[in-house]
Structure 1
């Protein structure tokens, strides 16, 4: 699993690093397509492998019979997706219908944390590792968190390379640790910025996962690896 995670991280972060060169050669839209053709299959493979092997290894703890633990894990998982998918704000760019761009902004969820995907991944890993409790899941979670912590440095480096002093100013007004910039009074939450159709899409996705979990496990179980 660690080898597969390393391969995904190398491809995903490597293509992100090569984006300026790639876009200059084949254009922003075609580079987005290339990025998706490489990243999405690797991500799907990781997800299937994780689901099929989540109970492998040593059972480190068992809390699934603890009252209300299932609800707690689902709530954490739902919260994680609101951090994991801020990119849904630019669906047309993701699909390369519009020209994909690197955005520098400090509104909405960026007021809470400059790297919401890292925060969302950490929350997701905590929830699923708590629920499953196996050494395989723990190792997987540690690998995912390590990749996203690297992505914090990598993302800041790419933003600075593109925006220079403008990014430095944004960096000074935001934080990696959730709510730290708000506590330090560098930011203040503006709830109107969260009233966006994208959050309805994320909510619908969470509900779909809720009802589709049994089906997802059944389908992945048919893949024998």
Structure 2
């Protein structure tokens, strides 16, 4: 029975997730050494040349195999479930892409820097990308309900939970007591620092062009999702 649903795609996805985690987190850990050797801009380009193709392969493979394996639940016909999944998915992108605030640094047009933030979405959670990934995984696992999607989601969440520790460690090494003070005033769990009174939400900090860009990206993704699925299906792996 196990051979009927535990397809090779499960193991391939595990390998891809592990490889991406090692490449992405490893390059982040080597950033101080790499920037010293080849400069911040060139290291950012190297980081992108490795991370972006790896992430693209992951996305395509997920699209092409997300219904593999055993179907654990089927909720797609429930009233309101589609709206819930799209709402959660849209919300996840507002957490996933706070780095768009420094788009010129991402593109290496400006010198990439390590920033110590305590405003905007960081008041809600110190690790918005982890929170966004968890929300995205919940939404897609709820909608699809297969063992392959559950495995992918657990792998992505595990990587981002590791990144919480890894990111805090790197910031502490770089900023020392300055980061420890920010750590005391913020929280990993969403809204915990706000509920504890350690933070106060300032709505004006969210009035940034980057959020308009994320909104446009969400609308574009919603419109082009069927096309994207059909294009990736032409990749035979």
Q: Counterpart of 2:118?
A: 106
Paired residue for 1:180? 192
SS at match of 1:61: coil
Alignment of 1:77-88 (within 5 A): 77-88=89-100
When normalised by structure 2's length, the TM-score is 0.95
Aligned partners of 1:163 and 1:31: how far apart in 2? 21
Q: Structure 2 CA distance, aligned partners of 1:166 and 1:59?
A: 48
Q: Paired residue for 1:206?
A: 218
**What does residue 115 of structure 1 align with?**
127
Q: Give the whole-Å Cα distance in 2 for the aligned partners of 1:92 and 1:139.
A: 35
Say whether residues 1:45 and 2:48 are aligned partners: no
Within the candidate set 171, 184, 187, 1:159 is matched to: 171
CA distance in structure 1 between the partners assigned to 2:114 and 2:20 by the alignment: 21
In the alignment, the residues of structure 2 paired with residue 132 and residue 212 of structure 1 have an alpha-carbon distance, to the nearest angstrom, of 19
Q: Distance in 1 between matches of 2:75 and 2:51?
A: 34
Q: Which residue of 187, 206, 216 maps to 1:194? A: 206
* Structure 2 gap ranges (5+): 1-12
Match of 1:68 among 52, 73, 80: 80
Deviation at 1:105, TM superposition (A): 1.2
Deviations 1:132-163 (A, max 9, x none): 00000000000000000000000000000000
Report deviation, 1:30. 0.1
Aligned partner of 2:236 in structure 1 is 224
Aligned Cα root-mean-square deviation (Å): 0.2
Runs of 4 or more, structure 1, over 4 Å off, are none
Matched, 1:21 2:33: yes
TM-score (norm 1): 1.00
**Aligned partner of 2:183 among 171, 178, 181:** 171
CA-CA distance at 1:173 after TM superposition: 0.1
2: CA distance, partners of 1:210 / 1:4: 26
- Post-superposition Cα deviations, 1:53-98, rounded to whole Å, max 9, x if no partner, equal 0000000000000001000000000000000000000000000000
Give the Cα separation in 1 of the matches to 2:224 and 2:167.
33
SS in 1 for 2:133: helix
List alignment gaps of at least 5 residues for structure 1. Answer: none
